[in-house]
Amino acid sequence: MKSLVFLEHYHGQLEKGGLGVLSKAASLGEASGVVLGEGAGELAERAGAYGATTVYVSETAGLSAPLPQPRVDALAALVERTSPDVVLFGASVLASDVAAGLAARLEAGLNWDLTDLVLDGDELVGTRPALGDTVLVDVGWTGAPRLALVRAGTFDPVETGGTAAVESFDVEPSDFSTLAELVEQTQEESSGPSIEEADVIVAGGRGLGSPEAFALCEQLASALGGAVGATRAVVDAGWYPYSTQVGQTGKTVSPKLYVACGISGAIQHKVGMQGSGTIVAINRDPNAPIFDFADLAVVGDLHRIVPRLTELVRGRRSG
Amino acid sequence: MRIAVCVKHVPDATVHKRLDPETKRLDRSGEGALNPTDLQAVEEALRIKEARGGDVVLVSLGPAKASDSLRKGLAMGADKALLVSDDAAAGSDLVATTAVLAAALERESPDLVLFGQASSDGDGAVLGAAVADRLHRPLVTQVAELTIEEGSLTGKRQTEHGYDVIKAPLPAVVAVSDAINEPRYPSLKGIMGAKSKPHETLALGALGVDAASAGEEGSKTTVRDLGPPPSRGDQVKLEDDGAAPQKILDYLVEKKLV
């Protein structure tokens, strides 16, 4: 199975999501990577350590802004040249747009939200938890190239220490691909550790009752050595910064421990954190949907439980 | 200006969604509703129409009873509805759905095509980008704020890292984020008025779409098998009787998480 993996980068670093998918692809056969945009050349070689034999790079001017359509042009050209059996993406806002555009361009099958990829003889089979994870579907493709978006946080990058050949290529953008232009970019920086890298996240929702109550999450997060996350509802209400938002809009996280405080567990939130190792949910409402997928479901008042839990964690750590 | 909103009839949120083990497709026999995030796309279209004039057309691919959902969009204030409904289109995957919707949109030739964030049953957030490529139109997705100017639009796109402000000339395709607005409820007048608005249902042939490019035949992905849901292991439940903090700590210690 010959794969091509789309490797995203941000602030001079290859994103973990793409590297995890690359490691998985390398376990299924020959894997190549593609890095696009400014600085791609410098980053390309590093993908060798995660199993890529060749990394294709293009720094064509149209690829500087993080916009999907010129990337569809680039990938379409690369697929035509290298004929991969499968093109893989770690899910993100940008990658989803690129994968979908490429599917339309090549009239190729795209399966999304995959949590595993296995070979059944010569055939690639994807695993997709569907309908709010109530059913597990084995999905396939009718022909090559097979396109797949892998659920964020599914595969961990595995360093194997190889080296990759780096090959540059030129992209001729389609006339419509460069019509959308980036005019401004704002990055919200949150204080404290980034929620994408954190092993522990303590997240708060509307059940906190007030923006001040986020202090409870912050204290517990600090005791556990983790970061603070938030739901869309509370970010929209201005209680907490957008950079901490977990969900379909916002970040997708997969920490070892996710503590949900006063979060109902709407599907938009769930898709952003369902890859977490252990989910502890504290909510007053015994019927909150989050209890359907929490590992430890605690029905009770978070305003009483969280401060006491924080003290107990601190006590254990210092003791 | 003419705004087309692509909407989907999905199983109602209160209905237990299931896949039919025979067809391996979603069982659509129960109550349905307009996909929740599509309501936000309709709302945005209505706000643009109210500010700048023009008309709003709803475009959908689905079973005949999707008409009920389209009527809700008409009651909110959309001007007309176009439903593409054909047995040959059942089971369409992304590529097949894109082919059908693109044909319907070409027929309506809108200045702006709006999509909601994602459907509650397919949950891919991929259709807008695929349709934009097929129509050769500029694309902005995850738009939390949309401004229409003369001949162009500016969208504030939410990404994992913050906001990207993107400008694109019309005609264009936009998928809104779930943070863009609160959709209105239809008024009684709107509900009554919806009954007399143009509401077309077309088969694939009437749109000039070859049946072989839609439905399972036109799809490039397959569903091989259905299995039980992924197990998260045994769930532990507890009601706070005063000892919850200690029990949570014990649980975390046992799992080696502290």
DSSP for A62-89, written as a single string? GGSS--HHHHHHHHHHHHHHH--SEEEE
* Sequence-ordered alpha helix ranges (H) in chain A: 16-28, 40-44, 68-82, 93-106, 214-224, 232-236, 267-273, 302-318
Q: Are B30 and B11 in contact (CB under 8 A)?
A: yes
Q: Are B18 and B70 in contact (CB under 8 A)?
A: no
Token digits for B93?
Answer: 């995957």
**What is the rounded CA–CA span in Å between residue A279 and residue A294?**
5
Q: Which amino acid is at A241?
A: P
For residue B241, is it within any domain? Answer: no
Q: Do B165 and A184 touch (CB under 8 A)?
A: yes
**What is the rounded CA–CA span in Å between residue A221 and residue A260?**
11
Helix (H, G, I), strand (E, B) or coil at B135: helix
For residue B253, is it within any domain? Answer: no
Residue B124 at interface with chain A, using a CB cutoff of 8 Å: yes
**What is the rounded CA–CA span in Å between residue A151 and residue A252?**
9
pLDDT at A314: 95
For residue B130, is it within any domain? Answer: yes
- Alpha carbons within 13 angstroms on the beta-carbon side of residue B191 total 6
Q: Do A141 and B129 touch (CB under 8 A)?
A: no
pLDDT at B120: 87
For residue B243, is it within any domain? Answer: no
| Helices H / strands E in chain A, number of each | 8, 18
**What is the rounded CA–CA span in Å between residue A231 and residue A214?**
12
Task: Give pLDDT tens digits for B116-135.
Answer: 999 988 889 999 999 999 99
For residue B103, is it within any domain? Answer: yes
**What separation in angstroms does the CA of A69 have from each of A3, A64, A75, B133?**
21, 12, 10, 8
Strands A146-150 and B139-149: unpaired
pLDDT for residue B232 is more than 70: no
DSSP 8-state assignment for residue A1:
-
**Domain A3-168 has what CATH class?**
alpha beta
Domain that holds residue B127: 2-218
CATH of the domain at B35: 3.40.50.620
pLDDT at A275: 85
Helix (H, G, I), strand (E, B) or coil at B87: helix
Token digits for A314?
Answer: 């601190």
Q: Which chain B residues are Cβ-neighbours of A282 within 8 angstroms?
A: 244, 248
pLDDT at A109: 98
Q: Are A147 and A102 in contact (CB under 8 A)?
A: yes
Phi, psi for A177 (deg, rounded to 5): -75, -20
**What separation in angstroms does the CA of A56 have from each of A33, A114, A164, A170?**
6, 24, 10, 10
Token digits for A36?
Answer: 């696009």
Instruction: Give ranges for CATH 3.40.50.1220 in chain A.
Output: 200-318
Q: Do A139 and B125 touch (CB under 8 A)?
A: no
- Of B120, B219, B236, Cβ closest to residue A295: B236
**What is the rounded CA–CA span in Å between residue A184 and residue A173?**
22
Cα B129–Cα A274–Cα B224 angle in degrees, nearest 5: 65
Residue by residue, pLDDT tens for chain A (319 residues) are 999 999 999 989 999 999 999 999 999 999 999 999 999 999 999 999 999 999 999 999 899 999 999 999 999 999 999 999 999 999 999 999 999 999 999 999 999 999 999 999 989 999 998 887 778 999 999 999 999 999 988 999 999 989 999 999 999 999 999 999 999 998 766 556 678 889 999 999 999 999 999 999 999 999 999 999 999 999 989 999 988 999 988 888 989 999 999 999 988 899 899 889 999 999 999 999 999 899 999 999 999 999 999 999 999 988 6
pLDDT at B192: 96
**What separation in angstroms does the CA of B121 have from each of A133, B32, B80, B168?**
11, 11, 25, 30
- Residues in B 30-89 with any Cβ partner in A closer than 8 A: none
Q: Do A10 and B161 touch (CB under 8 A)?
A: yes
Band the pLDDT of B208: cuts 50, 70, 90: very high
Q: Do B94 and A103 touch (CB under 8 A)?
A: yes
Q: Which residues pair with A228 in a beta bridge?
A: A202
How would you label A309-318 residue by residue, b for 16+ Cβ within 10 Å and e otherwise?
A: bbebbeeeee
- Of A10, A104, A187, Cβ closest to residue B133: A104
Task: Report whether CATH 3.40.50.1220 matches the domain A200-318.
Answer: yes
Q: Are A309 and A317 in contact (CB under 8 A)?
A: no
Total domains, chain B: 1
Q: Are A22 and A157 in contact (CB under 8 A)?
A: yes
Report the residue of chain B nearest A234, measured CA to CA: B179
Token digits for B227?
Answer: 């299995």
Residue A130 at interface with chain B, using a CB cutoff of 8 Å: yes
Instruction: Give ranges for CATH 3.40.50.620 in chain A.
Output: 3-168
Q: Are B199 and B74 in contact (CB under 8 A)?
A: yes
Phi, psi for A272 (deg, rounded to 5): -90, -15
